[in-house]
Structure 1
Amino acid sequence: MEDILDSTNRKILHELATNARIPITELARKVGLSKTPVALRIKQMEQIGLITGYRAILSPLKLGLTHVTYIEVRLSDTRQKALEEFNAAVRAIPDIEECYMIAGGFDYLLKVRSRDMTDFRRIMAESISALPYIHATSSYVSMEAVVEQHWTAS
């Protein structure tokens, strides 16, 4: 992978992560190549799975999703079948922005965005509490996002 991630490809990735809609001509100018080699490099990075897609990044604040809560989840069963069922159920809940399996004092960490505390309580009652194998949860409300960014190749 290191041979693919030369300085030019890192520049291309950085520019695409900053603005995926950048015209290929402008991208080529910024990285110091012509259009064809840049297009070929992008195609190669897509084919090997380094670039997995392009999407619009929405503003949760403009969408009214100003309330962020992190939830520790402890499961009653951590055998493979239970983990697979839990994972599938979590993926089906659009209110869960992120979910990580954790090695530590609990099993999963969820990030939930909601409009307010009332909305969060509804999400907890209707969705999260209904997840399979839930033994216990602990919630932590975020007061302020100090750093919130998307990864870019530098």
Structure 2
Amino acid sequence: MDIFDRRILRALQKDSQRPIAELARDIGLSTSACHRRIKLLEENGLIRGYAAQIDRTALGLKLQVFVEITLSSQAREVLEAFETAVTRFDDILECHLTSGHADYILRVVARDMNDYADIHRECLSRLPNVASMQTIFTLRPVQQWRGYPIRDAD
């Protein structure tokens, strides 16, 4: 990956809807060279797809929570059963295996506290082998996701 590939990735993370001609001009490439590089970045798996950034609050999802999960055991079959179950619930946006006092951290959004109570009852409480669960309510975002840092080569 060279400086032009990094410029392309930075620009696409900010706005993947820009016309290629505009993108190429801004990073100092011809349109065809820029297009060719984007296709190679896609083929090599650096660009996995394109998506719209949706405002969750505009969808009515005003409550965002992180849920720390500790399982009853660290046995492989316990971890696998939990991870399989997590993928069955659309209300669980993200699940990360972690180190530290919790085994997993989940990210969940809900319309309000009543909606979260329903998600807790119908989804989270049905996850297998959970020994303890702690919900952390976010008050407000301080820094939102802006993309991965793409640093210049040393």
TM-score by length of 2: 0.92
Match of 2:131 among 135, 148, 151: 135
- 1:62, distance to aligned residue in structure 2 (A): 0.4
> For residues 1-154 of structure 1, what are the structure 2 equivalents within 5 Å?
4=1, 6-152=2-148, 153=150
- 1:53, distance to aligned residue in structure 2 (A): 0.7
Q: Which runs of 4+ in 1 moved over 4 A?
A: none
Counterparts of 2:146 and 2:111 in 1: how far apart (Å)? 22
CA RMSD of aligned residues (A): 1.2
- 1:136, distance to aligned residue in structure 2 (A): 1.0
Amino acid at match of 2:23: L
Counterparts of 1:143 and 1:49 in 2: how far apart (Å)? 35
Counterparts of 1:82 and 1:35 in 2: how far apart (Å)? 52
Structure 1: stretches of 5+ with no match in the other structure: none
Counterparts of 2:129 and 2:87 in 1: how far apart (Å)? 15
TM-score by length of 1: 0.92
